[in-house]
Structure 1
Amino acid sequence: MSYAALLAAFLFMAIPLWLSYKQKLGISREMLNASIRAFVQLMIIGYIITFVFSIEAPILFSLIILVMILIAAKTCAKRGGSFNYSFQIAFTALLTAEMLSVSIWVLFDIVEYEAQYILPMSGMIIGSSMVAISLVFDRLKREFDLTKELIMGKLALGATNRQASQELIEATVKAALIPNVEAMKTIGLVQLPGMMTGAIIAGSSPVIAVKYQLVIVLTNFGNTALTAIIVCFLAYSSFFKQKMF
């Protein structure tokens, strides 16, 4: 595929960009900037990964994964400005999910600990978990603002901070998992996931492609739920420590 063909893909952005400009929606610049950043970042990481594959050094691609986690945690922390130690909370959740995922993949001989398998699979896991963490930070603050008086009433009746926050935590985790739950319900019926589609296009058997995609989907869903729960339990106490009542 030529670079001209890749640039032609930007034509798909022409209609929404025109509509945004015409209707004065104010998202044209953001859409264009996001598209250009995605193009540049993916091209750069493509060359970096090619280099990593060529030297086959586990320590090097492990460091790359760590950098990915750090960047994801920093991105999540922007949403968690209202919480104490938002970066540390996001980093802890992401690192826990990544270590658990890789351990299962390697221990059960799903894939070998090699860059060509671990890097792309980890990228999908980290990216999905990052979205869930951002949703948790955002929804947790909203839910707290809506239920503050109810929480105060429970505390006045002798409930602990954890007991008073039960509905808050429950609503937040459920909301953070909505995108993943809905995607799981329609997978294979409405959408064919990216990894599976790519493998089939590359010439792999559809059945083999489905098996690998199931590994990703199930690991992704489990870790998204895990990171959402970890972040929620580590973050909600900030409301009490900061005396936000």
Structure 2
Amino acid sequence: MGGITWKIAVTLIIVELVTQGILLGLHIVPPTAQYIIPISGMLIRNAMILSILFLNRFSAEINSSNDEIEPLLSIGRTPKQAIHKQLTCCIRASMIPTIESQKTIGLVQLPGMMRCQIIGGADPIQAVQFQILIIFALLTTAALSSILIEFLSYQTLFNERMQLINARK
């Protein structure tokens, strides 16, 4: 998969613009550096991790599934149809860490973030609301980054005649 760096960069930029656009556009968070910088850091970190997880899994899935993909292409399926099963599997797999980390809400994550905000002088209710906002933003980032990196990367596996390029020899 050539050009991975620009694909990840485009994914990170789009994910950041969309999520911050929603947060700022709907006036969910104030447009100050106090909120924008920490939220951006969390969102970009999450998107980077998910992009790398997706690409690693996707590369392995394609290499191990050549015997399934090539016959589908030979009977007239489009590249997207031929690798649909691998794409959905990789999107699910890349989102597992984010989804699994949400299972500790209320046991580990809420008290830790709430404690830091309360020590910093924030209202406890506002601290809980901010934590829930971050959780939903991370889930949104997970879905967006997996889908975007999938869209940008699957096309590079095929040539102009819709043949799989990295087929095993």
Q: Confirm or deny a common fold (TM above 0.5).
A: yes
Structure 2 counterpart of 1:159: 77
Task: Give, in whole Å, the separation in 2 of the partners of 1:208 and 1:214.
Answer: 10
1:244 to 141, 166, 169: 166
Per mean C-alpha deviation after superposition, the further-off stretch among 216-225 and 195-204 is 195-204
Task: Give, in whole Å, the separation in 2 of the partners of 1:89 and 1:192.
Answer: 33
Which residue type is aligned with residue 135 of structure 1? L
Task: Give, in whole Å, the separation in 2 of the partners of 1:219 and 1:102.
Answer: 9
Task: Give, in whole Å, the separation in 2 of the partners of 1:194 and 1:120.
Answer: 16
The answer to which structure, 1 or 2, has the higher relative contact order (CA under 8 A, 6+ apart) is 2
Structure 1 counterpart of 2:61: 143
The alpha carbon displacement at 1:152 in A equals 0.8
Structure 2 counterpart of 1:198: 116
The alpha carbon displacement at 1:153 in A equals 1.5
Structure 2 counterpart of 1:80: none
Per mean C-alpha deviation after superposition, the further-off stretch among 186-195 and 173-182 is 186-195
The alpha carbon displacement at 1:149 in A equals 0.7
- Residue 110 of structure 2 contacts residue 131 of structure 2 at CA under 8 Å; is this kept in 1? no
The alpha carbon displacement at 1:243 in A equals 1.3
Structure number with bigger Rg:
1
The alpha carbon displacement at 1:151 in A equals 0.5
- Residue 193 of structure 1 contacts residue 213 of structure 1 at CA under 8 Å; is this kept in 2? no
Query: Structure 1 stretches (4+) deviating beyond 3 angstroms?
Result: 189-197
Structure 1 counterpart of 2:41: 123
2:101 to 158, 161, 183: 183
Which residue type is aligned with residue 243 of structure 1? I
Which residue type is aligned with residue 196 of structure 1? M
The alpha carbon displacement at 1:192 in A equals 3.2
Mapped pair 1:172 → 2:94 = no
Q: Secondary structure at the match of 1:237?
A: helix
> Given the superposition, is the C-alpha separation of residues 225 and 132 from structure 1 closer, same or farther in structure 2, using an over 3 Å criterion?
same
Per mean C-alpha deviation after superposition, the further-off stretch among 142-151 and 233-242 is 233-242
> Given the superposition, is the C-alpha separation of residues 145 and 194 from structure 1 closer, same or farther in structure 2, using an over 3 Å criterion?
farther
Which residue type is aligned with residue 152 of structure 2? L
Structure 2 counterpart of 1:92: 10
The alpha carbon displacement at 1:119 in A equals 0.4
Q: Provide the TM-score with structure 1 as the length reference.
A: 0.62
The alpha carbon displacement at 1:201 in A equals 3.1
Structure 2 counterpart of 1:112: 30
Percent of counterpart pairs with the same letter?
34
Q: Secondary structure at the match of 1:111?
A: coil
Task: Mark the runs of 5 or more structure 2 residues left unpaired by the alignment.
Answer: none
Task: Give, in whole Å, the separation in 2 of the partners of 1:180 and 1:154.
Answer: 33
Query: Root-mean-square deviation (CA), in Å?
Result: 1.7
Task: Give, in whole Å, the separation in 2 of the partners of 1:186 and 1:160.
Answer: 41
The alpha carbon displacement at 1:102 in A equals 1.5
1:215 to 133, 151, 156: 133
Task: Give the number of aligned pairs.
Answer: 163
